Amino acid sequence: MKYNRILLKLSGEALMGDRQYGIDPKRLAEYAAEIKEIHDKGVQIAIVIGGGNIFRGVAGASNGMDRVQGDYMGMLATVINGMALQGALEDAGMQTRLQTALKIEAIAEPYIKRRAVRHLEKNRIVIFGAGTGNPYFTTDTAAVLRGIEVDCDVILKGTRVDGVYDSDPEKNADAVKYDYITFDDVLSKGLNIMDTTAFTLSQENKLPIIVFDMNKQGNLLKVCEGATVGTTVNI
């Protein structure tokens, strides 16, 4: 395998499957099967999930809700998603640990960097919930931050599109896909991969990002094997 330790970033919306909101058990099982493939080959796996299928702080703020309160609600939504994914992974036979940036001892460990690394070394899958524990930061930022802290080799951003394009492929049939692009080119072209804080953090710490279609069976394994899947963003 090309990568020994990865940080897999999943959107909350991905867990909806074909539903309008919430969590689709079928999609969870599909993701668990994909993750098990790389887990069985010895890849150490950390995961961060968004909470957009349940609640978005930014959306709440746009409707008059206090932004800080909304962001904390969003953090709790990521914990719910983390618990759901944890259950699916354990049903598939993998050992997991859920760590949260907010203290919720009844259901999860508090995030402790050394403990997280030890879990990874023991081939337990570590799910990081509650973002960074601070309002005004997205789960993209949390993913990059945790990836740097636990010394991951790469950030794998699983999305519903198969990479980074020069324009929105869902709106423009002539959009051109990049197999490889530098951080500087992403910024100069104004491409939207992650929020600015997350992207800058990744660039400054020379942590590559691979954007790929998580919903296509076998893609996660191919990425970890080093195949050209999706778009790689690097120095």
Per-residue pLDDT tens digits of the chain, which is 235 residues long: 999 999 999 999 889 988 888 999 999 999 999 999 999 999 999 999 999 999 877 777 778 889 999 999 999 999 999 999 999 999 999 999 999 999 999 999 999 999 999 999 999 999 999 999 999 999 999 999 999 999 999 999 998 889 999 988 888 888 999 999 999 999 899 888 899 999 999 999 999 999 999 999 999 999 999 999 999 999 8
Residue 104 has a pLDDT of 95
The CA-CA-CA angle for residues 105, 12, 6, to 5°, reads: 75
What one-character DSSP code corresponds to residue 111? Answer: P
Please provide the CATH number assigned to the domain covering 5-233: 3.40.1160.10
Maximal C-alpha separation, the chain: 51
Residue 101 has a pLDDT of 97
Decide the pairing of beta strands 231-234 and 180-182: parallel
Q: In sequence order, what are the beta bridge partners of 212?
A: 158
Residue 197 has a pLDDT of 93
Whole-angstrom CA distances from 42 to 45, 113, 134, 142, 188 are 9, 21, 33, 24, 37
Q: Is 118 annotated as a binding residue?
A: no
Q: Is 52 annotated as a binding residue?
A: yes
Q: Is 40 annotated as a binding residue?
A: no
Q: Is 10 annotated as a binding residue?
A: yes
Q: Is 228 annotated as a binding residue?
A: no
Domain segments of the chain as ranges: 5-233
Q: Is 230 annotated as a binding residue?
A: no
Q: Is 134 annotated as a binding residue?
A: yes
CA 58 to chain centre: 18
Q: Is 221 annotated as a binding residue?
A: no
Q: Is 115 annotated as a binding residue?
A: no
